[in-house]
Structure 1
Amino acid sequence: MRQTNLKKATFAGGCFWCMVKPFDSLPGIESVVSGYTGGHVKNPTYEQVTTGTTGHTEAVQITYDPELFDYAELVEIYWRQTDPTDAAGQFADRGDSYRPVIFYHDEEQKEIAEASKEALQNSGKFNAPIVTSIEPAEPFYEAEDYHQDFYKKNSAHYNRYSHGSGRAGFIQQTWGNE
């Protein structure tokens, strides 16, 4: 068995339920965990975060093997899950706890994220500015067990939510089968 140097990637893109599945089964992805980051309360609960008073954002933290999956590829997948022109939330989910953010863990990730954001802005894909924040990673707190792997545990609810929130339609309309 070869030694691996696993890394972390942290992305916020609205409800964390919808941010797990796109990354979960890729080669080199060790885990995708739903949680909260960027706030001022230690070990927040879902109920606390939803009040909007903790400063946390719902996010996923991905543990990956950079020899098998490149960070730049993770960022490209991230863009295809969000509306990068909406800083006030994502789809039906509104407020700071649902804002789109790429949380970088080192300078290399910061540079990759910034270059990718600039390339997306210059691509002409969107008519509005790309407003997704790129911020340093902060302590990440795992969400409660019932939030983990929600798309597997509650697939019918997940599918209704993904479509009902407007996320699935936006992704299809914007990216098609890219």
Structure 2
Amino acid sequence: MTEERAIFAGGCFWCMVKPFDQMPGIKQVVSGYTGGQVPNPTYEEVCSGMTGHTEAVEITFDPAVISYQQLVDIYWQQTDPTDAFGQFADRGDSYRPVIFYTSSEQKNVAEMSKNQLQSSDRFKDPIVTTIEPAQTFYPAEEYHQDFYRKNPAHYNAYSEGSGRKGFIRKHWDNQ
């Protein structure tokens, strides 16, 4: 079996795990940090905005079961691709939306998908999610892993209270 990796940043990583974790072909979803210059950053360091890292998820998947294109489609439906300065209640560089590609094929898929989303007129503002080469991915502390399972009440309250769930309902539930 061949495995591939996909890395997506879409605001709080707690909210980025569940949509992927429940799909067939997903082997693992890890919350972590990437895109910055500080090795092995802590949550507190990333939140300080001084590391250059963003919160992200690293997804290990079986491309024979779920394609990278399908993962990108799921990604778009979890984020506000028109907000470059954070996601929902989470503001700042460490919450910026990024698709980190691990191959030229992933880059091409992401760029075509972004262009299609822009052309769709689903959003009145430009699609500003960046597409960048993957860098070292640092897993977050254990208490951040599988947060939606470990703390379902907190997770549900946060995903609703942050505005994420309402945004998703408004923009994607009418597909």
Q: Tell me if TM exceeds 0.5.
A: yes
Give the structure 2 partner of residue 17 of structure 1.
14
TM-score by length of 2: 0.99
User: C-alpha deviations, 1:75-126, integer Å up to 9, x for none?
Assistant: 0000000000000000000000000000000000000000000000000100
TM-score by length of 1: 0.97
Residue type at the aligned position of 2:78: Q
Distance 1:152 1:10 in 2: 21
Decide which of 113, 117, 121 is 2:114's aligned counterpart.
Answer: 117
Decide which of 163, 166, 171 is 2:163's aligned counterpart.
Answer: 166
Structure 1 residue 25: Cα displacement? 1.4
Give the structure 2 partner of residue 140 of structure 1.
137
Matches within 5 A, 1:25-64: 25-64=22-61
Moved over 4 A (4+): none
Give the structure 1 partner of residue 67 of structure 2.
70
SS in 1 for 2:5: strand
Structure 1 spans left out of the alignment, 5+ residues: none
Give the structure 1 partner of residue 86 of structure 2.
89
Give the structure 1 partner of residue 147 of structure 2.
150
SS in 1 for 2:38: coil
Structure 1 residue 8: Cα displacement? 0.1
SS in 1 for 2:17: helix
Identity %: 69
Distance 1:57 1:49 in 2: 7
> How much is the aligned-residue C-alpha RMSD, in angstroms?
0.6
Distance 2:159 2:10 in 1: 13
Give the structure 2 partner of residue 79 of structure 1.
76
Residue type at the aligned position of 1:152: R
Residue type at the aligned position of 2:109: I
Structure 2 spans left out of the alignment, 5+ residues: none
Structure 1 residue 177: Cα displacement? 5.3
Distance 1:25 1:158 in 2: 16
Aligned residues: 175
